[in-house]
Amino acid sequence: MDKTLEINFDGLVGPTHNYAGLAQGNLASKRHAGLISNPREAALQGLEKMKASVDAGFPQAVLPPQQRPDMGLLHCLGYRGAPEEVLPRVGSEAPELLYAACSAAAMWTANAATITPSRDTLDSRVHMTPANMQSALHRSIETAQTARTLRAIFSDERHFAHHPALPATPWFSDEGAANHTRLCAQHGGPGVHLFVHGDSAPDTLAAPKHHRPRQTLRACRALARQHGLSDQQTVFAQQHPEAIDAGVFHNDVICVGNGPVLLYHERAFFDERAVLEALRDRLAVRADGQPLIPVRVPEEAVTLEAAVASYLFNSQLLSREDGSMTLVVPGECESDESVWMTIQNLLLGGNNPISEVVVRDVKQSMRNGGGPACLRLRVVLNEAERQAMSARVMLDDALYQDLTTWVERHYRDRLTLEDLADPQLAHESLAALDELTALLKLGSIYPFQLERGAG
């Protein structure tokens, strides 16, 4: 029997992880701007999280970090020369550009791409579109490398179709799987795709007042078209503008779906009733009559503010073989009583498949607004597709050990703006990445490796 599995591809935190306050609409990023970061601890926390998933029997893989500092960005902004000249100069003249060039934000792989499993596509291939991340400079520099990395791992064109990122303009602002949820009876069965956008129709009063939406309806529709999804397979939903203003910069900060379960806060969507109705209708037609299992958390149980502060909904909802589900929540959920009570009563005690809650410590990432769900890109693959993957990215005990040793050897435990301006850090980072691509059997994927090859 063909066994289709969901594999979580977590981003490995890069050696220049820092707190720069660069992310608009993201309260944690703003609050922690300028804090001293600890990339070693961040990477080890991420690896611990991945290892715990493997130990619990969930398929887990890893995506490598990106080349930072991005000297290409700095060169293009007119800072010519070697890191020795450029980095100290940018650090003193335009620290925000140095921060952007050093950002390790690619760790949040939920923003890497939108992926449609082969079960739902016309040509029975897995379709992928890297997100353009055009709403912020430090994230817009991820797209080209994301495309190269995905092409390196999913190189077999018989199984994988790679689309170009959408045009990087406000009309098509796309932040990837963080705003896309696939609902189904089981991973191998047909699915219904919920695309969530933040912008509103021009003639409504439903726009957020304080923060710019990061995903547009035009982008959602274009992704569905690229992947060949029909109207019957898709639902497009507008985020609640009050949620965006309260710090919900991606839908995965307020909603998580898995199988037939949709766990969400009552203020996640502008028109909750219409979203549920559409999902129910589509599931009935497309997913073998599978009923939707909505798990709604009302404001009186958890306020929008508490949801954003605890990241309750930025959890991973993982299917076990017996059909029950595990909810992986960040440690911050334990310290808010309303959230913890809701987990115990409404989620574990409710009429739904969630039967276990596990807590993970990803504080280094959380301080930048990245919880357990942000750190992972979900890829549903059948047996043949898993076999067709290139590279050593599936996490097992041996790879976990190798990556832990690699982090301990190469990563610093303290980074400030001054450190980012230190050319030595740039050299250390490239040496680390060079070793990493060998370890992951990825070949040459980074600009410095490709230039070396060409030279």
Residues 345 to 384 in contact with ligand SUG, rule: CB under 6 A? 368-370, 374
Contact call for residues 406 and 399 (beta carbons, < 8 A): no
- Pick 161 or 244: Cβ nearer ligand SUG: 244
| Of 4, 29, 129, 429, the one binding ligand SUG by CB under 6 A | 29
Binding of ligand SUG by 249 (CB under 6 A): yes
Binding of ligand SUG by 250 (CB under 6 A): yes
| Of 106, 150, 244, 253, the one binding ligand SUG by CB under 6 A | 253
Binding of ligand SUG by 174 (CB under 6 A): no
Q: Which amino acid type is present at position 211?
A: H
Closest distance to ligand SUG from the beta carbon of 139 (Å): 6
Find the helix or strand (DSSP H, E) in which 430 lies: helix 423-439
Active site annotation includes 374: yes
Closest distance to ligand SUG from the beta carbon of 103 (Å): 6
Binding of ligand SUG by 252 (CB under 6 A): yes
Binding segment toward ligand SUG, per CB under 6 A, in 19-27, 45-53, 270-278, 431-439: 19-27
**How is residue 206 annotated by DSSP?**
-
Binding of ligand SUG by 21 (CB under 6 A): yes
Task: Characterise 34 by phi-psi region: left (phi > 0), alpha (psi -120 to 50), beta (else).
Answer: left
Active site annotation includes 41: no
Binding of ligand SUG by 180 (CB under 6 A): no
- Pick 328 or 391: Cβ nearer ligand SUG: 328
Binding segment toward ligand SUG, per CB under 6 A, in 1-9, 146-154, 228-236, 250-258: 250-258
Active site annotation includes 383: no
Closest distance to ligand SUG from the beta carbon of 443 (Å): 28
Which runs of consecutive H residues, i.e. helices, occur in 17-173?
A: 27-31, 39-55, 71-76, 83-93, 95-102, 137-140, 143-153
Catalytic residue among 17, 193, 197, 250: 250
- Pick 193 or 250: Cβ nearer ligand SUG: 250
Binding segment toward ligand SUG, per CB under 6 A, in 2-10, 17-25, 160-168, 279-287: 17-25
Closest distance to ligand SUG from the beta carbon of 452 (Å): 29
Classify strands 255-258 and 261-265 as parallel, antiparallel or unpaired: antiparallel
The total of other beta-carbon atoms located within 10 Å of residue 319's CB is 18
Closest distance to ligand SUG from the beta carbon of 176 (Å): 8
Binding of ligand SUG by 178 (CB under 6 A): yes
Contact call for residues 179 and 135 (beta carbons, < 8 A): no
* Long-range interactions of 20-23: CB distance < 8 A, separation 24+: 20/96, 20/99, 20/100, 20/103, 20/138, 22/96, 22/99, 22/100, 22/103, 22/105, 22/136, 22/137, 22/138, 23/105, 23/136, 23/138, 23/139, 23/249, 23/368, 23/369
Binding segment toward ligand SUG, per CB under 6 A, in 77-85, 115-123, 245-253, 261-269: 245-253
Closest distance to ligand SUG from the beta carbon of 99 (Å): 7
| Of 4, 67, 111, 181, the one binding ligand SUG by CB under 6 A | 111
Question: Does 252 show up as a binding residue in the annotation?
Answer: yes
- Burial category of 14 from C-beta neighbours within 10 Å (exposed 0-12, middle 13-18, buried 19 and up): buried
Three-state secondary-structure class, residue 236: strand
104 CB-near residues (< 8 Å, 6+ apart): 13, 14, 15, 16, 17, 18, 39, 42, 65, 66, 68
How many helices (H) and strands (E) are present in the chain, helices listed first? Answer: 18, 15
- Pick 175 or 385: Cβ nearer ligand SUG: 175
- Buried-exposed string 259-296: b where 16+ CB fall within 10 A, e elsewhere: bbbbbbbbbbbbebeebbebbbebbeebbeebebbbbe
Catalytic residue among 175, 197, 220, 240: 175
- For the chain, how far is it from start to end, CA to CA, in angstroms? 49
Residue ranges in contact with ligand SUG by CB under 6 A: 18-23, 26, 29, 103, 105, 108, 110-111, 139, 178, 249-250, 252-253, 368-370, 374
Q: Which residue numbers belong to the known binding site?
A: 20-29, 111, 138-139, 214, 252, 368
Q: Which residues are catalytic?
A: 175, 250, 374
